[in-house]
Structure 1
């Protein structure tokens, strides 16, 4: 707990920041069936709307990471929170699909500033021995927000379909103000750098291409697969439960909330132990296997509690992959914490975009296809990593 409340409680406040940023992404999930009916949307349109958030996150994440290295972590976190608050307010007041898209695009820019700022801030205030634990706390908050967001949206939607977004705008705005007052700057002026390396001046497409040469590229690929699998699963999960099992918003919210809470408890209880005994890479192997099998299993269970239990396993796998991968990246980043954190966000966002769009398109073809695609991707990634390790060991 000392780590959480050191530096004026910086890590605890960072957890709140990243939780809200990720929760904002998923608030829309339980209201999607209603939006589809009201606006006459297709599954593909829902996928595009979900992906819009990740598109601007992808485009602006490298810039957000570099900006954090040059002007400081606190400033980009606060600006990102302010943009996110405005985007949630716009969504609440929207009366057309175009305003909904504008809201999601602006929210993605906000998260593109928040995520690398928070990850780099965490690296700044932890030692290498504390790094996995610190990032584990941040990842727990992030995963909880990402997964519990739909649950919160479902509960709040009982009071009106727009209420979740009004509440989110108010809470995020308050936390932005709190961060201005309470959050210290993690970098001294002497530590602020100008991005002089040629790689850091290039566009994000060039950066993605160049990152294949980095020692941590495989870890970035795992984060891309995680983004794909999680968004593929979550984008149409409410639609899937509504169409196949006749779940209402409260039922969807309950399954997602229980899955999120238990998954995070598993992460907090097991992550540090697993990393110390197995190492980050083996934790990723284990989680990819668990996630792939569990996503396939969701297609074959039918009772309320069986669906809930399988969902818990799915979220537990997600909650273990992200901090293990982020810890590996942070250890390899050296003084370029903001830049590498930006790449972390970029690859996760790219996976989220592909997963969201694919989920919507595949859902229009068959209810089961999004989950077949997500489960297969996890298992293919696992096999690829194991083959790569075998080749390296025999070389």
Structure 2
């Protein structure tokens, strides 16, 4: 019998703090990147490659990291991931040439591949099937909140020096690592780790990708890709779209994103668990895809600040609810393969994050409306795929 979330508050807070700090650290550096780019005399092309280096590193490491989560334990992978993240931010802050920055971003991608599956698997281990949607909703809210306040905090810290946000992110990561090291306990027994270790010895990136084609998982992984693709394509061009079409200032764009994100977080915390209990993950996912597709098209026809804000609030909400619904479904289906499934979840997310912004940028140059229309088409395809979805009955993990 697993303990309730209420009785594991300290563990839950540490786990959510780890995810929050990782995404806060990513957000912290956003306001200083243009200035950092000028100081380092970097081209836009180089900046794009640095972003891609992070995503590609995460993509390549995620399947292996997911297996290591099962083989070496959740706690070990969380602490290693936090050390890598802190080191990555420290190197970037100290970096004086491009090659060092690439090393930093690659380490950052590795850290993301370690932290996300480990925290997801840890939450799945310590929660019952009934309480898991609530826990995954909390995790998604922690991710969103980190993104929301990261840029604001980064802008404040940057007043003390352009490199200070990187050092602050590193410091927070190392503190989170120490707290995890001394407070968290490995949720798997030695016998379970030994069993997983035996099963995980003969694995590689391509064999795990092949295993992810299992009909039990594949449709969910495709929708994970659709989510990452649609959200990253939408967010990549949102600022450019708002500037080109409406002439919004950075302050107005930041206000829309912040308000929309807060709206999504509040709904995740208070309503997501109830929605899953009433509708089930599949219907929540389908509803989010329908709303996302409609509002992506709507984004091309609305005008006026309040109308744009309303559409953005609900499209962000659809994406924010889709993420924990998918994660909950996959964790229920995974059984004893929590690490593998969480790692492949991260892999397909990385694929979407690589392809989405690239396609969004290319289409934006052709017509500013095309990225949103293409994102809508991708979501409709994802919705069509869910019709073929045959769900496995929930089985409590051993």
Post-superposition shift, 1:28?
Answer: 4.6
Match of 1:16 in 2: 17
**148-157 or 17-26, which moves further after superposition?**
148-157
- Structure-2 separation of matches of 1:237 and 1:158: 27
Deviations 1:135-160 (A, max 9, x none): 22112212333455445445555665
8 A Cα contact 2:52 2:354, kept in partner: yes
| Shift in CA distance, 279/9, structure 1 to aligned 2, threshold 3 Å | same
| Shift in CA distance, 247/205, structure 1 to aligned 2, threshold 3 Å | farther
Matches within 5 A, 1:54-69: 54-69=55-70
8 A Cα contact 1:88 1:166, kept in partner: yes
Post-superposition shift, 1:242?
Answer: 4.4
Give 5+ residue unaligned stretches, structure 2.
391-398
Deviations 1:170-219 (A, max 9, x none): 22221112211222221222221344448x73322332233112412111
8 A Cα contact 1:284 1:324, kept in partner: yes
Post-superposition shift, 1:365?
Answer: 4.0
8 A Cα contact 2:4 2:128, kept in partner: no
- Structure-2 separation of matches of 1:238 and 1:305: 16
Question: Given the alignment of the two structures, is residue 206 of structure 1 paired with residue 207 of structure 2, yes or no?
Answer: yes
Question: Given the alignment of the two structures, is residue 290 of structure 1 paired with residue 274 of structure 2, yes or no?
Answer: no
Match of 2:395 in 1: none
Give 5+ residue unaligned stretches, structure 1.
391-395
8 A Cα contact 1:8 1:183, kept in partner: no
Match of 1:220 in 2: 221
Deviations 1:275-325 (A, max 9, x none): 111110010011111122223333334433333332211221111111111
Post-superposition shift, 1:45?
Answer: 5.2
Q: Secondary structure at the match of 1:215?
A: helix
Matches within 5 A, 1:1-395: 3-4=4-5, 6-7=7-8, 9-31=10-32, 39=41, 41-42=43-44, 46-146=47-147, 148-150=149-151, 152-153=153-154, 156-157=157-158, 161-193=162-194, 194-197=196-199, 201-386=202-387, 388=388
Deviations 1:54-74 (A, max 9, x none): 211111112212112122111
Q: Secondary structure at the match of 2:219?
A: helix
8 A Cα contact 1:5 1:12, kept in partner: no
- What is the aligned residue count? 386
- Structure-1 separation of matches of 2:28 and 2:267: 23
Deviations 1:101-159 (A, max 9, x none): 33222111001110111011001111122222222211221233345544544555566
- The normalised TM-score by structure 2 is 0.86
| Shift in CA distance, 372/89, structure 1 to aligned 2, threshold 3 Å | farther
8 A Cα contact 1:231 1:356, kept in partner: yes
| Shift in CA distance, 294/46, structure 1 to aligned 2, threshold 3 Å | farther
- Structure-2 separation of matches of 1:27 and 1:231: 18
- Structure-2 separation of matches of 1:3 and 1:57: 32
Post-superposition shift, 1:254?
Answer: 2.8
**146-155 or 166-175, which moves further after superposition?**
146-155
- The normalised TM-score by structure 1 is 0.87
Deviations 1:350-372 (A, max 9, x none): 11111133233334444433333
